[in-house]
Amino acid sequence: MLFDTHVHLNADQFEEDIDEVISRAMENDVEWMTVVGFDTPTIHKAMELAEKHDFIYAAVGWHPVDAIDMTEKELNWIEELAKHPKVVAIGEMGLDYHWDKSPKDVQQDVFRKQIQLAKRVQLPIVIHNRDATQDVVDILREENASEVGGIMHCYSGSLEIAQQCVDMNFMISLGGPVTFKNAKKPKEVAEGIDLNHLLIETDAPFLAPHPYRGKRNEPAYVKLVAEKIAEIKGISYEEVGNQTTQNAKKIFKL
């Protein structure tokens, strides 16, 4: 019933016990997952997992922190992988002004190139945004990203900006932070954005929800995200699960 739309099962943290992690997810109502690759090793691993498991799909793209390492070769490779039947999105891509490994102009250039690629292959895009909201929104508008739409991954911004993203054909994806006691904005977004435009995710192994905050996250915990959204909206857990899964299948064209 649940679709974890953004998980890094391709991370080293899952190397020892990935089969158990997948089993626990299925025991907690998770029927589908999208594993996100964001550089050469993680893309290879995402593809392996998607090919091995019927219920796992892959998103392939280049992370803004590593934008400086991306060449035409990687861009062409991602475009080639986009033809694979298990690849459902391009990303994660975007801007990250928190870390300074890649200069802002390089990040913006790589971001634009990946949006253009996504439009060529007609796949939705998965957006990573850290401390760069206005520039992300401006670039999405300038590049006419609404043509393919996509997902604002692990959204942490305001309700107002979330609504602007919805108007540009983007789904708003909420993860562990919506369960944190002090997380005002994600709760406002969960309440204010129509369920038809919401997705759920873990971003595992990162951002584990309460009561596992600070520990390794895993896809089984996406159930806690769905339960919290249900509580905030005053609706049933089943309704959140069913609708967010329908939303994911729609954006991923499944």
User: Residue 171 forms beta bridges with which residues?
Assistant: 151
User: Residue 37 forms beta bridges with which residues?
Assistant: 60
Question: How confident is the model at residue 1, as a pLDDT?
Answer: 92
The total of other beta-carbon atoms located within 10 Å of residue 171's CB is: 25
Per-residue pLDDT averaged across 188-216, rounded?
A: 98
For residue 131, name the pLDDT band (cuts at 50, 70, 90).
very high
Question: How confident is the model at residue 48, as a pLDDT?
Answer: 98
Question: How confident is the model at residue 100, as a pLDDT?
Answer: 87
What CA–CA distance (Å, rounded) separates 177 from 171? 17
What CA–CA distance (Å, rounded) separates 212 from 67? 31
∠ CA(211), CA(190), CA(231), 5° rounding? 55
pLDDT digits (tens, 9 = 90+) for 134-149: 999 999 999 999 999 9
Question: How confident is the model at residue 108, as a pLDDT?
Answer: 98
Question: How confident is the model at residue 60, as a pLDDT?
Answer: 98
Q: Is the distance from CB of 49 to CB of 10 less than 8 angstroms?
A: yes
The rounded percent of the chain whose pLDDT value lies above 90 is 100
Task: Tell if the pTM clears 0.85, that is, is over it.
Answer: yes
Question: How confident is the model at residue 113, as a pLDDT?
Answer: 98
Per-residue pLDDT averaged across 191-196, rounded?
A: 98
C-alpha distances (whole Å) from 172 to each of 30, 41, 84, 164 are 19, 27, 25, 11
Residue type, 160: E
Per-residue pLDDT averaged across 186-190, rounded?
A: 98
Question: How confident is the model at residue 84, as a pLDDT?
Answer: 98
Residue type, 152: M
SS (H, E, C) the chain: CEEEEEECCCCHHHCCCHHHHHHHHHHCCEEEEEEEECCHHHHHHHHHHHHHCCCEEEEECCCHHHHHHCCHHHHHHHHHHCCCCCEEEEEEEEEECCCCCCCHHHHHHHHHHHHHHHHHHCCCEEEEEECCHHHHHHHHHHCCHHHCCEEECCCCCCHHHHHHHHHCCEEEEECHHHHCCCCHHHHHHHHHCCHHHEEECCCCCCCCCCCCCCCCCCHHHHHHHHHHHHHHHCCCHHHHHHHHHHHHHHHCCC
pLDDT digits (tens, 9 = 90+) for 24-68: 999 999 999 999 999 999 999 999 999 999 999 999 999 999 999
For residue 238, pLDDT beyond 90:
yes
pLDDT digits (tens, 9 = 90+) for 221-236: 999 999 999 999 999 9
The total of other beta-carbon atoms located within 10 Å of residue 103's CB is: 11
User: Residue 47 forms beta bridges with which residues?
Assistant: none
